Amino acid sequence: MEKYAVFGNPIAQSKSPQIHLAFAAQFGIKLEYQKHLVEIGAFEQAINNLKENGGKGCNVTAPFKGDAFSMANQLSERAQLAEAVNTLTLCADGSILGDNTDGPGLVIDLENQNAPIKGKRILLIGAGGAARGVIKPLLQCEPEQLVICNRTYSKAQALVEKFSIYGPIKAIEAEQLSQDGYDLVINSSSSSLTNELPPVPACIFNANTFAYDMSYKAIDTTFVSWAKEQGCVTVIDGLGMLVGQAAESFYVWHGKRPNITPVLEELRAQLTAN
């Protein structure tokens, strides 16, 4: 039986084992998938232990995506652009392949939710690792423009310089954001994790705005609640992105694309029941 795992700190909240086992069941694949709490500074040893025990791969969550990036012998293009790795493949020859499936996971969920992307004006809030992982996949969907807004403007500018070869992207300071709102607003900042709002004005929303928070909780995140208060037509949290990125990881390892819908529905039902 092939062995897989997810590493993080904290990790108790991880849904990855449930998701990957559900995906495996769709194809009759038998695998073991466990979650492991890793102490800060012990990530490399945790990977080596997994390799020694016959592990085939692992997912990586905060705060170890940078460690995984550094440890990989080979990196996919999307991992290089994100400068972070959430999926490691442990090869028979001892090499380690690093990938980042967050961007495809976001796009999968946005497309499943019929979000306005192609030819539309998109605002991405935040300029950290979460943003870096999704910019190119968003630009590949051919928006009219992708605007980056971050508390530290220089970080947003740096992303524009890095990704401008892939499509129409620009950095705008918060006070200069469009007063007419955007078609799609994505919060990639960590504000919802601390129950805060990102430093942007309410004018980013209008009645037709599709609002998306890359975070998720059992109850509405602060960003989701705020967007609903502004009257946005659709407001979605990041649970679907979680399942989408897991589906892409599953494909990286097994070469098969699972059906996301039943897994997402089960997770949503569990969240709302708690």
CB crowding 175-209: b at 16 or more within 10 Å, else e: eebeeebbbbbbbbbbbbeeeebbebeeebbbeeb
- Single out the catalytic residue among 30, 65, 120, 170: 65
Spell out where the chain has E strands: 2-8, 31-37, 55-60, 74-75, 87-90, 96-99, 121-125, 145-149, 169-171, 184-187, 210-213, 234-236
Count of C-beta atoms within a 10 Å radius of residue 166: 15
Closest CA to 46 of 60, 62, 27: 60
How far separated are the first and last CA of the chain, in Å rounded? 32
**Is 9 in a helix, a strand, or coil?**
coil
Strands (DSSP E) along 114-166, which ranges? 121-125, 145-149
Q: Is 65 a catalytic residue?
A: yes
**Cβ pair 247, 258 in contact under 8 A:** yes
Q: What are the catalytic residues?
A: 65
